Amino acid sequence: MTMHNVPDWHGTTILAVRTPTQIALLSDGQVSMGQTVMKGNARKVRRIGNGEILAGFAGATADAFTLFERLEQKLERFPGQLQRAAVELAKEWRTEKYLQKLEALLIVADRQTTLVITGAGDVLEPEHSVVAVGSGGNYALAAARALVGYETDAETLGRKAMGIAADICVFTNDNFTVEILDV
């Protein structure tokens, strides 16, 4: 773990791409344990909140599922208010001793907003139309930002950027899972 309870992740890449017509959330499928690839087709992105919210995670799977469940509870309490639900989750994550031990980062998106939620209590709305986390996150982010002016389809842009990340990062493969919402 690095400073402020934000882990230094090795082993996944999650990318969110927002265009005027779509939001695409992509993940690779690789699960690594040290230098060994344990699984190549893991599903790290999914729909939550009655299918209206895309969510992806980097980090420990059980921890991420716990956080997804907590986020869904917050969404039930604050329907249609992803940002409010995310802030409530981040506050709980930072203050409850049990949750403080959870090691994951989340990217969540609805039709209006894309957010990164961390265990340090951060709820970050990216400045640009793309955001990424995980070991290959910076590669995917750089590629996606470079492609934004040339590709208008969110899924196509995301697949190209993730392909570049998979070519560079040994902890990222090209077995992508994609979830899309029309905006």
2, 12, 66, 95: which is the annotated catalytic residue? 12
Helix axes 154-168, 137-147, angle to 10 degrees: 140
Q: Is 61 a catalytic residue?
A: no
| DSSP symbol at 5 | G
Concatenate the DSSP letters of all residues of 7-75 into one string: ----S-EEEEEE-SSEEEEEE---EEETTEEEES----EEEETTTTEEEEEEE-HHHHHHHHHHHHHHH
Distance between CA atoms of residues 131 and 109, nearest Å: 11
Distance between CA atoms of residues 160 and 158, nearest Å: 5
The sign of the CA dihedral 24, 61, 119, 142 is: negative
Residues identified as active-site: 12
